[in-house]
Amino acid sequence: MTTEALPEATLAVIFTTSFVVALSGALMPGPVLALTISGVAQRGFRAAPLIIAGHALLELALVIALVFGLSRFIDSDFIASIIGIVGGSVLIGIGAVTVIKGRHSVNPLSCPATYATRDHMLVVSGVVTSISNPYWFLWWATIGITYLLWSLKLGAAGVATFFTGHVLGDFGWYALVALVITTGRRFISDSVYRWMLIVCGVALVGLGIYFVVSGAMFLASPASEAAVV
């Protein structure tokens, strides 16, 4: 197992960056947030972890499938570098959009009543809502695959660390959403919410540049010619 085209990392780095990347996605209003708000309003705090459990189960199945599918590419530094450049570029784009939205976004926890309610089984609805979101497929086809190849450099422990950080990022934010709805208290002001988006966006841009530069440097090196052959 080589994947020298991707930057080196420790389990702590993979966990931290995975958490931040997941948190940045969870912070952006979308169908899972709408479902969580309506579910908590109807069934209380427990709705949030159940919905996100469905979301996490779907992603666990996808991670397992991707790991087995990516196994043939683990030893190809050339392919790893291309994936790193593509995934890093998408990270930069999403990070830039996140920073821009952070300057103008309204805290979704300020107006939860604007979302329509739904009445589905909570775990199943978490799966259905996630898989019906085109952005979810785009994320895993680019950033997710890049992260998995990066994590695979540390074996099963790396993949498990990536997935744990990713899931905890989702659970952390949606638990806070549920707490706000059930207690009626605002724990995050609009300005704090905007700064959270901006900080996460900057982190995404930085991580994206890290991947792109690492992949590009490998392609520009003599080792890349041998990798292609």
At 84-126, the pLDDT tens digits run: 788 888 888 888 887 887 777 666 666 554 444 444 578 888 8
pLDDT tens-digit series, residues 38-52: 888 778 888 889 999
Instruction: Please give the distance of CA 98 from its chain centroid, rounded to a whole number.
Output: 13
The answer to whether residue 159 is domain-embedded is yes
The answer to whether residue 227 is domain-embedded is no
Q: Are 160 and 23 in contact (CB under 8 A)?
A: no
Single pTM value for the model = 0.77
The answer to whether residue 229 is domain-embedded is no
Residue 183, pLDDT score: 81
Pick from 14, 30, 212: which is nearest to 136 by CA? 30
Average model confidence (pLDDT) across the chain: 79
Does the pLDDT value for residue 224 go beyond 60?
A: no
Confidence of residue 53 (pLDDT cuts 50, 70, 90): very high
Pick from 160, 147, 166, 167: which is nearest to 210 by CA? 147
The answer to whether residue 144 is domain-embedded is yes
Does the pLDDT value for residue 204 go beyond 80?
A: yes
Check residue 5 and report its DSSP letter: T
The answer to whether residue 117 is domain-embedded is yes
Does the pLDDT value for residue 166 go beyond 90?
A: yes
Beta-carbon contacts of 220 under 8 Å, excluding residues fewer than 6 positions away, are: none
- Burial class from Cβ neighbours inside 10 Å (0-12, 13-18, 19+) for residue 161 reads buried
- Segments forming the whole domain that contains residue 125: 11-221
The structural domain count of the chain equals 1
Other beta carbons within 10 angstroms of residue 137's beta carbon come to 14
The answer to whether residue 6 is domain-embedded is no
* Distances, alpha carbon 115 to alpha carbons 31, 35, 37, 128, 192, in Å: 10, 8, 7, 18, 22
Q: Give the torsion through C-alpha atoms of 65, 146, 151, 80, to 10 deg.
A: 100
Residue 119, pLDDT score: 45
